């Protein structure tokens, strides 16, 4: 018998263990990890959830008020590119990196013979984003840069790879990805930064400007530039590793690590790589990560991989970055939901706590189902990413996993980012006027969430990427196989009506896919965003049904109720918008969905019958 969580025991969403309270994330981690991974990871994730819920969350609120500051020049007017961070940010960095948030996925952690899958990195990012989605940006880019160097790096990149994956903070460097240019934006092929070979110094040098550079002073920055005589567009772009410090003049053997930078202080003018950090952006949110403008004035750089292959190499990083963005969305949704549950359980109005009122109960049910949908979809995509990386490290291939992953990842990023903004906005509303002021975390969560639809590609850009995955990867084939396998696994009588609805929508989705395959490009692009959301809804419903079948067999009825609510909300067209139906589902299902309380499968059938 699973006991529900009594949220009245908490005063707010700090000073708690996010891993313990997020039973949805715990279920998904158990589902997508291999058995040996989960056996090792469970206690580590519990420890990390405790660290984030206490120290990192408390520090994050203070960092939001006292964020990083840039001092481009020293007192003599020489370029120093110094970013000053609050002390609490250093503490958060040390805690997160030394608990293996990046290292575990690349180097075997203590107690294991092999690295963890990338899903583990994403699970830890999700927990971190309960406290600070801004700090999760450098974490994600550090993992992304490490992935690129692991795949495409050579001997000259090895010291940077080792520092990016360091388990010791003093030996660590962070990563960054400088893509955006003023004239290009999402049109990366319009980038004008150029790379010139310096015969005298024996190195590449970069010239040009990057317009939106998060984690601006990272030592492990990846940037795209065009070499002489390279073709226009993305085909002519090469990837370069651009250190913060000049690798020859800094006096260091290898990259300048966190420990060295903390001990030695600002770089001397001669040790600065030839670039200028012009200014930091005055952003709405994600204050903890410094985002600014960089002007390359001959910065020394290391070519990564083959020349004119940079965009394809960057795409490998983008897959992880987009899923990181989605994991951050899950974390924000989870934190907003937690704060809302706690507030509803404690706030009294008109003689009752507001969580007793039908409208609030319906809202919390729907927020919980949103959290379930985002987390379930994202970690299925994470499972595929881990499967592919595990196969590549073993010298094998996982073509179907890759093809399906290429379709699911842009959709994951697009849909969950929108979910995070909408959930954070309503979480603020639940708190009323308090939620609108800086003293309450809902204010920051909404500001932080608002960048998620923008980072790593807007929804329009991502929707067009969905079309490319369907055209170039024929991703509809593994999608069909994945959905059909899950629907065929469902046989419980309590799920019959819900399954029938999903099957009908699945066949309509196949019709939509076939229609767009035969239409001209203009019409396909016009429909791309609707298609992306349609895939999310049908695929998530199939995942829900598979899980509901498995859990009903084990005596747990909650996932069946989650599946029913999601399908009725996202896939059913209800007469008179459901008002005439007499449906009391949100009231009857409140405790199991919102509080994770056990519910007997027989009672599930009754509730679902009553809601028809």
Q: What does the pLDDT average to over 447-454?
A: 97
pLDDT recorded at residue 608: 83
Dihedral of the CA atoms 404, 409, 411, 412 (nearest 10)? Answer: 120
| Residue 369 or residue 3, greater confidence | 369
pLDDT tens-digit profile of 456-512? 999 999 999 999 999 999 999 999 999 999 999 999 999 999 999 999 999 999 999
Mean pLDDT over each residue of the chain, to the nearest integer = 95
Burial (Cβ within 10 Å: 0-12, 13-18, ≥19) of residue 378:
buried
Domain extent listing, the chain: 174-310, 474-581, 582-611
CA 483, chain centre distance (Å):
23
Single out the residue of 150, 186, 135, 163 nearest to residue 259, CA to CA. Answer: 163
- Is pLDDT larger for residue 368 or for residue 179? 368
How much is the pLDDT for 251?
A: 65
Question: Do residues 474 and 312 touch, judged by C-beta distance below 8 A?
Answer: no
Per-residue pLDDT for 579 more than 90?
Answer: no
Q: What is the Cα–Cα distance from 166 to 102, expressed in whole angstroms?
A: 8
pLDDT tier at 253, thresholds 50, 70, 90: low
User: Pairing state of beta strands 237-242 and 291-304?
Assistant: antiparallel
The tokens of 69 are what? Answer: 């500051």
Residue 209 has pLDDT above 80, yes or no: yes
DSSP 8-state symbol, 117? P
Rounded distance, CA 430 to CA 427, Å? Answer: 5
Distant-in-sequence, close-in-space partners of 243: CB < 8 Å, separation ≥ 6: 160, 219, 220, 221, 255, 256, 273, 300
Question: Looking at the DSSP assignment, which residues form a beta bridge with residue 277?
Answer: 294
Tokens representing 368? 């919980």
pLDDT band at 33 (very low <50, low <70, confident <90, very high): very high
Please, which pLDDT band fits residue 1 given cuts at 50, 70 and 90?
Answer: low
In angstroms, the CA 195 to CA 208 distance is 9
Distance, in Å, from the CA atom of 495 to the CA atom of 544, rounded to the nearest integer, reads 11
Residue 612: the pLDDT is: 67
Q: Is the pLDDT of residue 105 over 90?
A: yes
Q: What is the pTM of this model?
A: 0.97
Judge whether residue 252 has pLDDT over 80.
Answer: no
pLDDT in tens, 382-427: 999 999 999 998 899 889 999 999 999 999 999 999 999 999 999 9
For 86-95, 385-394, 485-494, 563-572, which range has the lowest pLDDT when averaged over its residues? Answer: 385-394
**Is pLDDT above 90 for 71?**
yes
Mean pLDDT of 537-559: 97
Beta-carbon count within 10 A of 167 CB: 17
For the chain, percent of residues with pLDDT exceeding 90 = 91
| pLDDT at residue 80, rounded to an integer | 96
- CATH code linked to domain 174-310: 2.40.110.20
- The three-point CA angle 241-246-251 to 5° equals 125
Share of the chain above pLDDT 70, in %: 99
- The per-residue pLDDT for range 111-150, each reduced to its tens digit, is 999 999 999 999 999 999 999 999 999 999 999 999 999 9
Q: Where are the alpha helices (DSSP H) in 254-309?
A: 258-264
* Secondary structure of 1-44 in HEC code, one letter for each residue: CCCCCCHHHCCCCCCCCHHHHCHHHHHHHHHHCCHHHHHHHHHH
Pick 34 or 577 by higher pLDDT: 34
Q: What is the Cα gyration radius of the chain?
A: 24
Q: Which CATH number fits domain 474-581: 1.10.10, 1.20.140, 3.30.450, 2.40.50?
A: 1.20.140
If you average pLDDT over residues 26-50, what whole number do you get? 97
pLDDT for res 486: 98
The C-alpha atoms of residue 248 and residue 258 are separated, in whole angstroms, by: 18
pLDDT of residue 188: 82
């Amino acid at each position: 018998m699973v006991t529900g969580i009594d949220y009245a025991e908490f005063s707010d969403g700090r000073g708690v263990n996010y891993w313990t309270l997020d039973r949805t994330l715990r279920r998904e981690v158990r589902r997508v990890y291999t058995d040996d991974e989960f056996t090792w990871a469970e206690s580590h994730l519990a420890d990390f959830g405790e660290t984030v819920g206490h120290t990192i969350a408390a520090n994050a609120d203070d960092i939001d008020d006292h964020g990083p500051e840039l001092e481009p020049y020293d007192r003599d007017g020489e370029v120093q590119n110094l970013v000053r961070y609050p002390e609490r940010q250093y503490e958060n960095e040390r805690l997160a990196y030394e608990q293996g948030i990046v290292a575990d996925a690349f180097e075997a952690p203590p107690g294991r013979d092999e690295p963890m899958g990338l899903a583990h990195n994403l699970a830890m990012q999700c927990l971190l984003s309960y406290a600070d989605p801004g700090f999760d940006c450098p974490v994600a880019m550090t993992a992304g840069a490490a992935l690129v160097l692991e795949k495409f790096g050579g001997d000259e990149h090895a010291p940077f790879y080792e520092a990016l994956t360091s388990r010791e903070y003093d030996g660590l460097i962070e990563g960054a990805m400088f893509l955006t240019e003023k004239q290009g934006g999402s049109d990366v092929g319009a980038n004008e930064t150029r790379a010139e070979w310096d015969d005298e110094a024996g190195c590449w040098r970069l010239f040009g400007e990057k317009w939106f550079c998060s984690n601006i002073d990272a030592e492990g920055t990846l940037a795209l530039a065009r070499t002489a005589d390279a073709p226009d567009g993305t085909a002519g772009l090469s990837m370069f590793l651009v250190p913060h410090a000049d690798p020859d003049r800094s006096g260091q053997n290898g990259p300048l690590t966190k420990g060295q930078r903390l001990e030695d202080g600002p770089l001397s003018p001669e040790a600065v790589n030839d670039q200028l950090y012009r200014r930091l952006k005055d952003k709405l949110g994600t204050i903890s990560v410094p985002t600014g403008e960089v002007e390359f004035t001959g910065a020394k750089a290391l070519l990564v991989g083959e020349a004119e292959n940079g965009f394809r190499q960057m795409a490998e990083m983008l897959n992880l970055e987009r899923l990181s963005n989605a994991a951050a969305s899950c974390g924000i949704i989870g934190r907003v939901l937690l704060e809302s549950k706690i507030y509803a359980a404690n706030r009294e109005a008109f003689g009752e706590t507001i969580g007793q009122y039908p409208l609030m109960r319906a809202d919390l049910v729907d927020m919980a189902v949103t959290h379930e949908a985002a987390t379930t979809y994202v970690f299925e995509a994470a499972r595929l990413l881990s499967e592919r990386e595990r196969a590549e490290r073993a010298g094998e291939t996982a073509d179907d996993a890759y093809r399906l992953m290429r379709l699911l990842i842009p959709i994951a990023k697009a849909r969950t980012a929108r979910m995070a903004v909408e959930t954070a906005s309503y979480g603020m509303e639940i708190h009323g006027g308090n939620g609108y002021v800086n003293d309450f975390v809902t204010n920051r969560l909404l500001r932080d969430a608002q960048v998620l639809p923008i980072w790593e590609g807007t929804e329009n850009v991502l929707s067009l990427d969905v079309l490319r995955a369907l055209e170039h990867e024929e991703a509809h084939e593994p999608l069909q196989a994945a959905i059909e396998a899950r629907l065929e696994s469902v046989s419980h009588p309590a799920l019959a009506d819900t399954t029938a609805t999903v099957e009908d929508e699945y066949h309509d989705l196949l019709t939509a896919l076939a229609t767009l395959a035969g239409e001209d490009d203009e019409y396909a692009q016009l429909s791309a965003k609707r298609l992306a959301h349609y895939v999310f809804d049908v695929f998530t419903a199939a995942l829900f049904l598979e899980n509901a079948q498995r859990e009903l067999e084990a005596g747990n009825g909650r996932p069946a109720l989650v599946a029913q609510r999601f399908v009725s909300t996202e896939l059913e067209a209800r007469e008179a918008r459901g008002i005439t139906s007499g449906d009391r589902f949100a009231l009857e299902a409140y405790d199991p969905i919102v509080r994770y309380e056990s519910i007997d499968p027989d009672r599930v059938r009754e509730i679902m019958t009553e809601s028809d």
